[in-house]
Structures are given as C-alpha cells and as structure tokens.
Amino acid sequence: MPRRELRPGQVWLIGVPLNLLLAVPCAYPVAFAMLAAQVIAGELGWGEVDPTLVDDGAEIVIGLGVVSALFAGLVVFGVNALVTSRAPGLRAGGYWIAVALLIVVPAVLYWTVLR
C-alpha cells in the first residue's frame, strides 16, 4: 500500500494541536531549563540566585532536567518528523520554528505568569 502524501495545510492542521498537546508534558523540561539558566546567570554574576537553591543540590535537579529535556526533544522531533515526512510541499523552516514556539511559549507562560 503506498504512503499517503499530505498537503501543507493538512500538516498544519495536524501539527498545531499535536504540538499544543505535547507542550503539556514538556512544561517540566522547560522549567528545568529555566532553573538552569537562573543558576548559571547567578554563578556568572548576571543576576541574583537564592543561596539555598544552590546549597540544596541544584546540580542534581539540573542534571535530571537535561535528561528529561533530551527525551522530550527526541519525542517532539520524532512525532513531528513522522508528520512532515509525508508532506513534500511543506516549507520546513517555518514549520519547525512554529513547533519550537508551540512547545516553549505555553510552558514559559505557565511557569512565569499563570502560576
């Protein structure tokens, strides 16, 4: 049975809700990345960092965050690669930028504004 090709519009109709759903489990790796950025900025003297955060073992949390971010990135990339491989007419650059924004922006908004 031949593979079914998708039009670019169909990929967008599938991809946007799919990536918004993937943003839910990816909220925690984004939070770990934000924590790592805060600790690194504090160590470089670019900002204030809570001393108890560093004393209580932020290295372990950041290490687990890196592992979870890599796993989440592989899942997001794999699922989107399956969808985009069926659409030869899709402009991939814009789609992958939209994927990154659809994953990161809701998580950052959740951890900074809504919480």
Is residue 16 situated within a structural domain? Answer: no
pLDDT, tens digit (0-9, with 9 covering 90-100), for 34-57:
888 888 888 888 988 877 777 777
Q: Within a domain: residue 70?
A: yes
66 lies in which domain range?
Answer: 23-114
In a domain, 6, yes or no: no
Residue 27 included in any domain: yes
Provide the residue type at 80 as one letter: N
Domain count for the chain: 1
pLDDT tens profile 3-19? 788 888 999 999 999 99
pLDDT tens, residue by residue, 64-82:
888 998 999 999 999 999 9
Residue 12 in domain: no
pTM: predicted TM-score of the whole model, two decimal places: 0.79
For the chain, the C-alpha Rg in angstroms (whole number) is 18
Which residues have C-beta within 8 Å of that of residue 50, sequence separation ≥ 6?
A: none
Using the predicted structure, report yes or no on whether residue 2 has a pLDDT greater than 70.
no
3-state secondary structure of 79: helix
Per the domain annotation, does 42 fall within a domain? yes
